[in-house]
Chains A and B, each alone.
Chain A
Amino acid sequence: MKYSIHQITEGEDELILRYRELTPEVERMIQFMNRGQARLSGKDNGETVLFSPEEVLYIETVDDKTFAYTKEKVLRLDMTLNGVEDYLKDISFFRCSKSMIVNIDKVERLKSLPSNRIDVMMQNGEHIVISRTYASEFRRLLRGWKN
């Protein structure tokens, strides 16, 4: 695939992808472009804010309300956890329990626990335990068996 890069001095940064057929390579490019575009909307102290999913450490449902946790704040989302999961399916988010989605890029360390569970230490020092039910899928994902 040919590509060209031009530096501009005016106007907005722009990525243009021209393709004839939707090959896996093109799909990967689109995924890459989409991930920069994806935005989540949440409420912080009554104010609606747009933020990038890449800022999120994990997303959790508590009493049917969905919250996104970043390093600095907790934002209440308007979407359900399943909705968020579908929306973020091309980004490095993993459904690690019935009520939680974790951002793998924000994982600091992993620890193997008895009974095939995994302790996930996030970049803010919080620990999340992935149960055996979800741990096998998580291992498969890390090994790149499923994308």
Chain B
Amino acid sequence: MSKKNDKPTLWERYLTKEIGIEFKACLYFYALLFFYCIFRLVCGRTDASIWHMAQMIFSTYVMGYLQVYVFWNFDEADALQAKEILAMLLCTGIYTGVSYLCGWFDKNPVATLIFAAYVVFLYVCVFLVYRTRRRIDDKLLNDELQLFKTRDKSR
């Protein structure tokens, strides 16, 4: 039952964290892109700017790092407390600022405000998804624990 030789290396640990950030970047990029596309469609346009998409990918990647290393990975937190809500609002503020400066929504203040609300909603949804996943994982873990104890005793 020892695990001396199976301990992940520093590189593997870094890679695990990096994959987590990449996953976050993809998740949020698709969510931003969805809002962006809806905005374009509402405005009667059926094209999307590659330059805007590149900015979105870059910003979600940077925000992924910020969330993980600076903002306590708040969207995966156990509970949404003051610290997490503050981090959520700060990240929303950064996304909103970037969207305005880069003109994702033609610097339209109403669209930008709706976008800010959408980002908050998105963070809450992601938080709930992670929490639900952990609850399911709890059940699996405890079932496996009981099975392990029974199996171990029968050996």
Contacts and interface: CB of A to CB of B under 8 A. Distances in A.
Q: Do chains A and B interact in one complex?
A: yes
B145 A142 contact: yes
B135 to A, nearest CB: 8
B142 interface: yes
Contact of A91 (B1, B130, B134, B151): B1
Given A89-B2, A94-B1, A110 B151 contact: no
Interface residues of B, number: 30
A93 interface: yes
A133 interface: yes
Interface residues of A, number: 37
A13 to B, nearest CB: 19
A143 interface: yes
B8 A133 contact: yes
B144 interface: yes
B138 to A, nearest CB: 5
A114 B13 contact: no
A31 interface: yes
Give the secondary structure class of B's interface: helix
Contacts of B145: 104, 107, 109-110, 142
Given A28-B155, A109-B142, A118-B141, A92 B134 contact: no
Q: Which of A32, A85, A112 has the most CB of B within 10 A?
A: A112
Contacts of B155: 28, 31-32
Given A92-B152, A113-B78, A114-B78, 4 more contacts: A89-B1, A94-B1, A115-B73, A132-B13
30 contacts: A32-B155, A85-B4, A86-B2, A94-B3, A95-B1, A95-B3, A104-B145, A104-B149, A104-B152, A105-B149, A105-B152, A107-B145, A110-B138, A110-B141, A110-B142, A111-B141, A112-B134, A114-B73, A114-B78, A114-B130, A118-B141, A132-B13, A133-B7, A133-B8, A134-B3, A134-B7, A139-B141, A141-B148, A142-B145, A147-B1
